Amino acid sequence: MNFIIAVDGPAASGKGTVAGALARHYGLPYLDTGLLYRAVGVHAQAAGGLDEATAAAVAQDLNAALLDHPKARTREAGEWASRVAAHPTVRAALLDYQHQFAGQHGGAVLDGRDIGTVIAPQAPAKLFVTATPEVRASRRWKQLIEQGEQVSYDDMLADILCRDERDRGRSTAPLVRAADAALLDTSEVTIELAFREARRLVEEALGR
Ligand code: DC
């Protein structure tokens, strides 16, 4: 069985931090799949809009150079990503790349919304990372302020709630906890504690 760790969860839940730390700990390659959707969002917006045809054409031609966009980590890119991610043909265009990454020899860590349910349902270790919307809004707000963006906490909370609703409510690959994913609530723990608990849950899953 390939050592795949699937990490899913809503925006700013801490899944990226946990997934990155697990990848370093186990010496595995790591893919932040949100970045694929963010890149599609940014380039589709520049190419004329977030409609399905434009976004799917961008997704079909996505390559490493396009992923490295200075706007990819901005607030608006998160919103565009969530919107293009609801188009089934966009998701379909990004499947091969994610499957190949997950299937590489020796294993991999991937984080996103549908890793444990769609991309790698066979993963032996799955985590669903969550935190309250208020904690997530506060984390994302601090990150964006540090990046130099002007945004209020209230607007950030509204963004997070809207993104949760869209990501959970879409018909293709919605954000949902896989039946066999272990829950990790990071609302009240430090990064170190979250990582320690994540490791424990992974070891527990592997021992099953
Ligand atoms: O993880 P993130 O916040 O960078 O993701 C941005 C958006 O991309 C998210 O709101 C929904 C979408 N996404 C997705 O639909 N499926 C994934 N596997 C990863 C991200």
Structural domains counted in the chain: 1
Q: From the CA of 170, give the closest atom in ligand 1.
A: 15
Dist. CA 40–CA 193, nearest whole Å? 34
* DSSP for 153-188, written as a single string: HHHHHHHHHHHHHHHHH-SSS-----TTPEEEE-TT
SS3 5: strand
Is the shortest distance between the CB of 43 and ligand 1 below 6 Å? no
What lies within 8 Å, CB to CB, of 188 at 6+ separation is 135
- Going from the Cα of 207 to the center of ligand 1, the distance in angstroms, rounded, reads 30
Is the shortest distance between the CB of 77 and ligand 1 below 6 Å? no
Residues pairing with 183 in the sheet: 128
Is the shortest distance between the CB of 15 and ligand 1 below 6 Å? no
Per-residue pLDDT of the chain (208 residues; tens, 9 = 90+): 689 999 999 999 999 999 999 999 999 999 999 999 999 999 999 999 999 999 999 999 999 888 988 899 999 999 999 999 999 999 999 999 999 999 999 999 999 999 999 999 999 999 999 999 999 999 999 999 998 999 999 999 999 999 999 999 999 999 999 999 999 999 999 999 999 999 999 999 998 6
Is-contact 156 36, C-beta < 8 A?
Answer: no
- Stated pTM of the model: 0.96
Full domain range(s) for residue 187: 4-207
- Going from the Cα of 67 to the center of ligand 1, the distance in angstroms, rounded, reads 14
- The domain that contains 68 carries what CATH number? 3.40.50.300
Which pair of tokens denotes residue 181? 């994913």
- Going from the Cα of 134 to the center of ligand 1, the distance in angstroms, rounded, reads 19
SS3 69: coil
Is the shortest distance between the CB of 170 and ligand 1 below 6 Å? no
